Amino acid sequence: MSIYNDKINNGEFYVRKIDGTIDTSNSFLSSIYIKYKDIDSNFYDYLSDNRIKNIDVFYDVFYIETDVGYIFEKFMVDMDNIVYPFLNDNHFTKIINTSPCYWFDDKELKIYIVDVISGYQEILSFNFFIILKEFDCKSGKMQTILKEQIIFNCSNSSNWGNSIPIIEKPTISYNQSTNKFNLSFIFRNNNKEIGIISVNFLKKINIELDEINLFSEFLNVSQTYHISY
């Protein structure tokens, strides 16, 4: 099933509190939401209106995504069942092309988040950015640990360029036996034909780009290289 058949609609997010009562997220999480009022008013409006696209919870960390962007937040709950942010850091990320993917390391209590960003393309190349961030569930801190620009030089490619390509939501997985992450996503040309990108990252002391693979019948790639930032 493609992204054109699978439609995701915004919904309302409700929370069941310890006393059994049910509250809306914009009320229950208001002390966290207010952090983003002056950071991105559009994102804050979505939170305030309880228009939520996706949610996830990892112990005392939650993920909330709207059409505008997303946050990972560590929270605290006091004796009166009131929720507070663990830190006042800005964890907002604006969505440019597609939703992020993430992988939760339940041993180290870290979440690895990947954004794939691609802008206007020229006929003779396909280039995009991969940004990998790490959210520490113990400290509540987020940091960017890898930023790579991947470039495919092309020739005689069909129905490509002069537009921003369609990129579907990526997926990420981790193989403990090889210490490698795999990031994969589908992209499409102007005729909505499918191409597939697969990128491996090796986890050592730092995370490093290890391998880049592409399958596409419409891109005739002559050279592949990457730039680390």
Question: What's the mean pLDDT in 108-132?
Answer: 95
pLDDT tens for each residue of 49-59: 999 999 999 99
Average per-residue pLDDT for the chain: 91
On whether both 107 and 56 belong to a single domain, the answer is: no
Query: pLDDT tier at 8 (50, 70, 90 boundaries)?
Result: low
On whether both 63 and 169 belong to a single domain, the answer is: no
Per-residue model confidence (pLDDT) at position 116:
97
Report which of 67, 32, 71, 36 is spatially closest to residue 52, judged by C-alpha positions. Answer: 67
Per-residue model confidence (pLDDT) at position 1:
44
pLDDT of 224 higher than 50: yes
4 vs 175, higher pLDDT: 175
- Model pTM? 0.91
**Residue 5 located in a structural domain:** no
Per residue, the 3-state secondary structure of the chain, as one string, reads CCCCCCCCCCECCEEECCCCCEEEHHHHCHHHHHHHCCCCHHHHHHHHCCCECEEEEECCEEEEECCCEEEEEEEEECCCCCEEECCCCCCCEECCCCCCEEEEECCCCEEEEEEEECCCECCCEEEEEEEEEEEECCCCCEEEEEEEEEEEEECCCCCCCCECCEECCCEEEEECCCCEEEEEEEEECCCCCEEEEEEEEEECCCEEEEEEEEEECCCCEEEEEEEEC
On whether both 146 and 213 belong to a single domain, the answer is: yes
pLDDT of 153 higher than 50: yes
On whether both 76 and 118 belong to a single domain, the answer is: no
Compute the CA torsion angle 77, 79, 80, 86 (nearest 10 deg). -20
Looking at the structure of the chain, the number of domains it has is 2
On whether both 90 and 105 belong to a single domain, the answer is: no
Q: How many CB atoms lie within 10 A of CB 49?
A: 12
On whether both 116 and 89 belong to a single domain, the answer is: no
Per-residue model confidence (pLDDT) at position 7:
57
On whether both 131 and 183 belong to a single domain, the answer is: yes
Per-residue model confidence (pLDDT) at position 164:
92
pLDDT tens for each residue of 19-32: 777 878 888 889 99
Per-residue model confidence (pLDDT) at position 6:
54
pLDDT of 68 higher than 90: yes
On whether both 57 and 158 belong to a single domain, the answer is: no
**Residue 2 located in a structural domain:** no
- Report how far residue 64's alpha carbon sits from residue 44's, in angstroms, rounded to the nearest whole number: 12
**Which range marks the domain in which residue 156 is found?**
97-229
On whether both 133 and 196 belong to a single domain, the answer is: yes
- Give me the percent of the chain exceeding a pLDDT of 90: 79
